[in-house]
Structure 1
Amino acid sequence: MGRVDPEQRRTATERLRQLADSGQLTARHVRLVATGCGVSERTVWWWIDPHAPRADGRARSGYRLTDIDRAAYAFYRGNATAVHRARSSVIGGTAPSAGVPIPDSLAQGWQNARPVSVHTLRRAFADQLTPAEVALWRSGENARRNADVYLTRPPSVRNQVWEADHKQLPILVMPPRGAPVRPWMTTVLDDATRALVGWAITLTPHAGTVLTAIRMGLVHDAERGPFGAVPAMVRIDRGLEFASAAVSEALKALGVDVHRLPAYTPHRKGKVERFHRTLEQMLLTTLPGFTGGPRDAAGRLHGPVDDRPAARAAAETADVRPMGIDVLVERVRDWVRWYNTAHEHAALGGRSPARAWEADPTPLARIDPERLRHLLLAGAERTVVKDGIHFANLTYLAPELQGRGGERVQVRHMPHDNRSIEVYARGEHLCTAYPQAHLTPEQVEDFRAAARAEAKRLRAAQRRSTRHSRAELAPMTGAAPAAESRLVPAADGDELARRRSDQALAAKSSTSLLGLVDPTLHPVVEESENP
């Protein structure tokens, strides 16, 4: 026998009570209503007067829960049978119940209660408690939220509202060093078109990761699609990475309203939460190392990758290891490109996010990427070597690096984008460097021209320095400029002193083996002061 429609039951009950009040109610009326509603006559009599006592003194079905009954339901964690056992023990004077003491507050509240059957009490809890109450006392707050009903936001236009969130991906990957880990993904999703405008995958999320994902959403890049503009508002959760001063100041400096959502309200950014589930269902479940897959009786994942602690600790030397984080990034990049440009979204009328974006005529506010360098993820310091800057297994080069060999510089980059890096020297932006293996002919010529110009500049500086040095050192050594020695004759006294000095040196240079000077070979010339 199925459950009676509540509206039909209320209508039938109201009619029967009208007949009872006027003294016209008969058993035939009850029989007709029972047949029409598909219930027993006894049930129909209960509809008319649910509180009428039975011959055995027990209350009829339709029992109304008291505050004590509700408190007991919470105390016994949603176990209606345990509530009935404790209640019957107090009423019958046989407490404690099943060897378990009954709280005094419950025992005092049930002192004068009427007995009910366990079936009646279960039915009362099922009928008079909402699914949210039942879930709360049985499973907790998260289960209660599953029974909540939420408001739906009105439709927005493209790039007006972003939703940003972190998600620890359910997949094991190998980091550059160490044991396998589950990486984190930072996601920025457009509310109106469901387009993934920015993302980043790292081992641990931080403010730099958030800034990088936001910058990706701000910069227009034709290779990623038509996306890239300044939004009006960004919804973020209360994670410390999103709440950092660097993130808040960077967004507010662009005139973007930052809406920080209350804690534990994932439904208020439901689109990005749904995207994470789509990513897991479509991509991650097909990759090795997915931790949400089926397991055997010992808890081991079905497949080549074992995520148990002992296996993870030995993964570096094992024959079968999870994929590297760089491989995961490549897979996610390809999938995101497909999702944005080809995935037919039901909420978009069967269009892809890119098509929905292009069909929206709302004006976009774009900013020159060079003005957004401060939003890049800061990398480690590097030393400029002979062939440029070594970073992420590539060698980057730029004309501005000429003459800076051996200098320590700071590198900023976009994760998952090795097409260029930004180089800073002493806190100031120096240049944009590109992989040497992928330089265009124009970039190669620019680099060579810069090398020639730098060499020319240094040679000119060297010549200037030489001229200045000669002018400064000549007076210190007593030597006159060559031009003056040709125009001004030497004094007579100076000439006599020079000749005497030459004769003395000649005499010293011609000696015997005993070191004696032979005066016959080098006679000393006596000269008078007044020839």
Structure 2
Amino acid sequence: MFLTRPRSWRNHVWETDHVQAPVLVDVDGKARRPWITWFTDCATNAITGVAVTPVHPSRESVLAALRSAVLREEPYGPFGGLPEKVRVDRGKDFLSRTVTAAFDLLDVMVEDLPAYTPHLKGTVEGLNRAVESMFLAALPGYARQPRPGKRSSRPKDEVLLGFEDFTARLLDWTRWWNTEHRPTPLRGRTPLQAWQDDPTPLRDVPAADLWTFTLEDAGTRTLTTRGIRFKKHDYVGSWMTGLAGIQVRIRFMPHHDHRVEVYHAATGRYLGPADLADQATEEQVSAVRRARAARSRRLKKDLEASQRERYAAVNQPEAPRRLGALTGAQADAELARSAGTSLSQLALPDVIPPAAPPADWRTPASLAALTTAGRPAPLPSSRDSAPVVLDGPAGRGAPSTPDEDGDPS
């Protein structure tokens, strides 16, 4: 049994969460289950912001939902403004450096709830359950629909919704929830009526400032005649003419590698966008994706083959006997394909062998043979602690003296 929190005022506390829709949606010809990220106001049960991601969500999904939640202009209003506090559930996306920095700039406190306590954010958890039973269960491609004959696969003639159509229907349901649905805690009122009846003043943020605050900061760069160097790529813009040599600050939307936003490093003034130079064509991108998919299938096939082991059946007590004979040519061919893939071999330990460990360490013989003889590596020490003297016939109780590099030996 859990107690109910007392009702507060609008924008006092928001709750946010990711939820995977149990509906198969057509995404670039593949059946996928999209993810929904939303913010909800605890006082009015209003859905203030929502973002839909075709596959796994990320911090970019949180930032997109946050922008739609804060803005009150069309098509997002009338709900919005800045909350005083947001409850999250230890999700890495919600606690990422970019998201927490955005909340800090917007002066919003983040309440990180303990693990495995969904009852502490009951408003958004109730919304997750309601969207499935009231909306998602009626859509084509519902993944939890019982099949005749206990078959879990969907019918071959079932037509799935496209991602765009699914998003449009979800946004329509969100508007219905906010303007027509009457949740029990609101005692006959809709979230819109509860929002409008609350006289609490709202804190708004200009759209341009909100966009800046919800971008990831990549530090400063020097603008050159080739543009801006970022992540080993050049980014250019038409506004850069005549500005070579100035210091600029880069901000970008996570995972949107095609464009960055550029600001003056000293004044913070927005200069303009910069697009990736020499960007690949759609045909090249499609060819790369096909090649990656083919390589992924080959790797999966090799992994399944390596994990498939067969043993001889016995009817008398005896040691297990592994099956699967190889010819000498087959063994040599497979070893040749795997040559050069071992990280220990790529490190070339025979060229620069590691130093010998301290004398009091228990080192396996296989590793001791790879080290060089001589002075052992020094043990880690801090400035506040006394120098560590290694145990040994010559070093027990002897004072430490600095070597040529100034380290105690």
Deviation of 1:373 after TM superposition, in Å, equals 0.9
Conservation of the 8 A alpha-carbon contact between 1:209 and 1:377: no
Find the counterpart in structure 2 of residue 190 from structure 1.
41
CA distance in 1, matches of 2:99, 2:252: 20
Unaligned runs of 5+ in 2: 217-236, 242-249, 265-269, 274-409
**Residues 427 and 172 of structure 1, relative CA distance in 2, 3 Å threshold:** farther
Secondary structure of the 2:16 match is strand
* The one of 148, 158, 162 aligned to 2:14: 162
The higher-RCO structure (CA 8 Å, 6+ apart) is 2
Counterpart of 1:195 in structure 2: which amino acid?
Answer: A
1:291 aligns with 2:143: yes
Find the counterpart in structure 1 of residue 185 from structure 2.
347
CA distance in 2, matches of 1:320, 1:188: 32
CA distance in 1, matches of 2:127, 2:24: 20
**Residues 424 and 245 of structure 1, relative CA distance in 2, 3 Å threshold:** closer
Find the counterpart in structure 2 of residue 98 from structure 1.
none
CA distance in 2, matches of 1:160, 1:425: 32
Deviation of 1:183 after TM superposition, in Å, equals 1.2
Conservation of the 8 A alpha-carbon contact between 2:69 and 2:76: no
* The one of 44, 51, 61 aligned to 1:209: 61
Conservation of the 8 A alpha-carbon contact between 1:212 and 1:375: no
Aligned residues: 237
CA distance in 2, matches of 1:282, 1:213: 22
Tell me the percent identity.
39
* The one of 153, 161, 166 aligned to 1:323: 161
Secondary structure of the 2:86 match is strand
Deviation of 1:377 after TM superposition, in Å, equals 7.3
Q: Summarize deviations over 1:203-250 as a string: whole Å, max 9, x none.
A: 111111111111211111243331111110000001111111111111
Conservation of the 8 A alpha-carbon contact between 1:212 and 1:377: no
1:362 aligns with 2:200: yes
CA distance in 2, matches of 1:339, 1:377: 30
Larger Rg: 1
**Residues 248 and 403 of structure 1, relative CA distance in 2, 3 Å threshold:** closer
Deviation of 1:284 after TM superposition, in Å, equals 0.6
Taking the TM superposition and a 5 Å limit, the aligned residue runs for 1:274-423 are 274-300=126-152, 305-306=154-155, 320-374=158-212
CA distance in 2, matches of 1:411, 1:242: 18
Deviation of 1:363 after TM superposition, in Å, equals 1.1
Find the counterpart in structure 2 of residue 453 from structure 1.
none
Conservation of the 8 A alpha-carbon contact between 1:232 and 1:257: yes
Deviation larger for 249-258 or 157-166: 249-258
Unaligned runs of 5+ in 1: 1-148, 307-317, 379-399, 416-421, 433-531
CA distance in 2, matches of 1:361, 1:425: 37
Find the counterpart in structure 1 of residue 51 from structure 2.
200
Secondary structure of the 1:198 match is strand
Find the counterpart in structure 1 of residue 110 from structure 2.
258
Deviation larger for 237-246 or 319-328: 319-328
1:237 aligns with 2:75: no
Conservation of the 8 A alpha-carbon contact between 1:225 and 1:341: no
Secondary structure of the 2:93 match is helix
CA distance in 1, matches of 2:108, 2:252: 27
* The one of 24, 29, 32 aligned to 1:181: 32
CA distance in 2, matches of 1:297, 1:430: 63
Q: Summarize deviations over 1:468-498 as a string: whole Å, max 9, x none.
A: xxxxxxxxxxxxxxxxxxxxxxxxxxxxxxx
Counterpart of 1:245 in structure 2: which amino acid?
Answer: R
Secondary structure of the 2:82 match is coil
**Residues 293 and 320 of structure 1, relative CA distance in 2, 3 Å threshold:** closer
CA distance in 1, matches of 2:103, 2:239: 35
Secondary structure of the 1:327 match is helix
Conservation of the 8 A alpha-carbon contact between 1:215 and 1:375: no
CA distance in 1, matches of 2:108, 2:180: 30
Q: TM-score, normalised by structure 1?
A: 0.41
Conservation of the 8 A alpha-carbon contact between 1:219 and 1:366: yes
Q: Which structure carries more strand by proportion? A: 2
Conservation of the 8 A alpha-carbon contact between 1:165 and 1:272: yes
Counterpart of 1:264 in structure 2: which amino acid?
Answer: Y
**Residues 374 and 222 of structure 1, relative CA distance in 2, 3 Å threshold:** same
Secondary structure of the 1:204 match is coil
Deviation of 1:423 after TM superposition, in Å, equals 7.0
1:247 aligns with 2:99: yes
Deviation of 1:368 after TM superposition, in Å, equals 0.8
Q: TM-score, normalised by structure 2?
A: 0.53
